[in-house]
Amino acid sequence: MKKIISVLLLISLVFSLMIPAFSWVDANESRSQIPVVRISGDGEALYDQEGNKIFHYKDFAKLLKNDNENGTDNSELYKSMAKTLLPALAKGLATDNWDDLYAGLETEISKIFANSLLDENGNVTNNSGLLQSRIDEMEYKRNNSQKGDKGYFAWNDYWFRYDWRLDPMETADDFNSYIKDIKKSTGCEKVGIAATCLGTNIVMAYVAKYGVEDIQGIAMDGSVVGGAEILSEVICAKFDIAPPALMRILQDVEGLGMFSIDEFIMETIDMLVQTGLLEGVISTTENIFYDKLVEGTTSALALSTFYTWPNYWACVSPEDYESAKHYVFGEEGSEKRVKYAGLIQKLDNYDKQVRQRIPELVQEIKKGGANFGVISKYGYQIIPICASSDVVSDQFASVKRSSFGATTSNVYETLSDEYIAQRTAEGKGQYISPDKLIDASTCLVPDSTWFIKGSSHSNWTSYELKILYDVATADKQLTISDFPYSQFMVYDTKADLLYPMTEENCNTENWDADPDVYKPASFIDKLTVAVNSFVRWFKILVEFIFESIKNA
């Protein structure tokens, strides 16, 4: 009898653990009686006026290829860069005058982004933008109710398509008109907003200018309103490449199935990291060149790539903004400050109206009677080009920023036992994540902020959309107590399932950021790690050689 009861209990336990997954099979079938406007970020490709694609972030890999058949021959570009930059580099080394290098960098890199750059006022001058068919679809839907015979509004009825490069304050005007038109065509008094990535900047600019009179609720996922380290730190002298972080991002890339990395290559990189050789090369380069060249190269690269785009500037954190302006445009009264005065005016206006007022604007949303909710994701290495390479992040932004203020540890350690004990004594222990990396109690809206581990910044699952739409359309402010799932969740990428986070299922990272390995306490520990890594590399090398001989 006891055996039968035990089996039944086991079956019940297994079934109960699977309930969250089963209950969300139709998560993307959100249905509401008010329209929900989706607004996203730079996932929308840019096109010239002839309909040719000129920019999409996924196309960067083509710059590394030379394939005439597939139209990715970059040989002429490389030749031009070498012809311009090598003499300038030689002159700099010989005379310590680097002006030609800065000018050459800006000229040559600008060729790559020529069609997507904005002018010195942050405006489009070549009629580039979104694909016209996307705009036409949006225009039709805004003036024709999508409720129709189905009797409800679906999750993807209304997308606000916009040129995500432009000034969020100006785009907010178009966003307001779009909302007004939808209200008119549907007869609804209010709409909901589901914003992701760069779209969160537009929404906060909209709130700053127009308030929330027309809004039922605002839900944000992958917010960059508070900043995104990979866009913020690289232009204010916080550019850095940490070898351990490089290893972790490679493991993430493979774990996400983006591409497979040969075992020998991984072990070679690991050996270079653990023996300190890679760090030595990077450190030597920094010591010789970084302080001397950082200001000039930052300005040249910024203005020839992404930083004529005001909405990317909106991702610069409050504490980095003034420093970033200095490194990109120079001191007050400089030639570039004068040239880019129109752009800077837009950047400063956003800083004053939005960036410096984020807590105040969130309070205005709540006081105005609109719902507000946030999803913050993590479990991935932030792209290792910034000093904050050990933050808990979604690859692009730290949890601290995307959650509007959570307190976190770093990837090498958990929140201390003393800290957790103190928060528990204060009655806030329930806000500590099971993996002990996050304290949600310090968020601006701690009871309406959800955390999903295992979902990266650019991944918008149907489960996340379900939360966004429920928050945006509810007739009251929803909190973590109103949902059948917990504040902290784990996303299984391969199974496409979401589960409540527990101490048993929370170790989802594709890597182990072990401080004993990456931050040895002593010389003996460092030597031991280095020797072990070299032995592993040598073993793989021998296997690689013998396999090559066998297949020859």
Residue 477 or 547, more confident = 477
Percent of the chain residues topping a pLDDT of 90: 57
Phi (first) and psi of residue 510, to 5 degrees: -80, 0
> Which pLDDT belongs to residue 56?
83
Residue 367 has pLDDT above 60, yes or no: yes
More confident of the two residues 29 and 424: 424
Q: What is the pLDDT of residue 241?
A: 75
Whether the per-residue pLDDT at 374 is higher than 60: the answer is yes
More confident residue, 392 or 2: 392
pTM of the shown model: 0.85
At residue 386, what is the residue type? C
Looking at domain 6-47+131-227+368-379+430-500, which of 3.30.70.120, 1.10.3720.10, 3.30.450.40, 3.40.50.1820 is its CATH number? 3.40.50.1820
For the segment 363-386, the average pLDDT, to the nearest whole number, is 95
Please give the residue that has the higher pLDDT: either 266 or 185.
185
Identify the pLDDT of residue 534: 46
Minimum mean pLDDT range among 39-53, 79-93, 119-133, 395-409: 79-93
Instruction: Answer with the residue of higher pLDDT: 397 or 246.
Output: 397
In this prediction, residue 291 carries a pLDDT of 67
Q: How confident is the model at residue 69 (pLDDT cuts 50, 70, 90)?
A: very low
Mean pLDDT of 218-232: 97
Helix (H) or strand (E) holding 53: strand 53-55
Q: Average pLDDT in the 51-58 region? A: 85
Q: Which residue has the higher pLDDT, 364 or 385?
A: 364
At 91 the pLDDT is 84
Quote the pLDDT of residue 430. Answer: 97
Classify residue 23 by its DSSP letter. T
Higher pLDDT, 5 or 501: 501
Q: Which residues of 37-50 are buried (b: 16+ CB within 10 A; e: fewer)?
A: bbbbbbebebbeee
Cβ atoms of 204 and 237 within 8 Å: the answer is: no
Q: What pLDDT does 269 receive?
A: 60
Degrees to nearest 5, angle at CA 48 with 43 and 51 = 85
Confidence of residue 43 (pLDDT cuts 50, 70, 90): confident
Q: What is the mean pLDDT of the chain?
A: 84
State the SS3 of 430-493: HHECCCCCEEHHHCCCHHHEEEEECCCCCCCCHHHHHHHHHHHHCCCCCCHHHCCCCCEEEEEC
pLDDT computed for residue 24 by the predictor: 46
Domain boundaries, the chain: 6-47+131-227+368-379+430-500, 51-114, 520-551
Position 9 confidence tier, pLDDT thresholds 50, 70, 90 = very low
Specify the higher pLDDT residue, 298 or 409: 409
**What is the average per-residue pLDDT within 144-161?**
91
pLDDT at 248 over 90: no
- Least confident among 36-50, 64-78, 104-118, 522-536: 522-536
Residue 312 pLDDT class (50, 70, 90 cuts): very high
20 has pLDDT over 90: no
Residue 34 CA, chain-centre distance (Å), reads 29
Q: Which of 138-147, 270-279, 380-389 has the highest mean pLDDT?
A: 138-147
Query: What is the average per-residue pLDDT within 379-402?
Result: 93
| CA nearest to 457, candidates 277, 135, 230 | 230
Q: Is it the case that residue 398 has pLDDT exceeding 90?
A: yes
Hey, CA dihedral for 511, 512, 518, 519, is it positive or negative? positive
Longest dimension (CA), the chain: 90
Dist. CA 160–CA 172, nearest whole Å: 11
Q: Are 300 and 105 in contact (CB under 8 A)?
A: yes
Give the pLDDT band (50/70/90) at residue 73.
low
Check if the beta carbon of residue 315 is closer than 8 Å to that of residue 322: no
Report yes or no: 238 and 387 within 8 Å, Cβ to Cβ: yes
Q: What is the pLDDT of residues 490-518, one digit of tens each?
A: 999 889 999 999 999 999 998 787 665 55
Q: In the predicted model, is pLDDT for residue 111 greater than 90?
A: no
Decide if 299 contacts 336 (C-beta within 8 A).
yes
| pLDDT at 384 exceeding the cut of 70 | yes
Query: Could you give the angle at which helices 199-210 and 168-186 cross, rounded to 10 degrees?
Result: 80
User: For residue 296, how many C-alpha atoms fall within 13 Å in the half-sphere facing its CB?
Assistant: 16
Q: Which pLDDT does position 110 carry in this prediction? A: 86
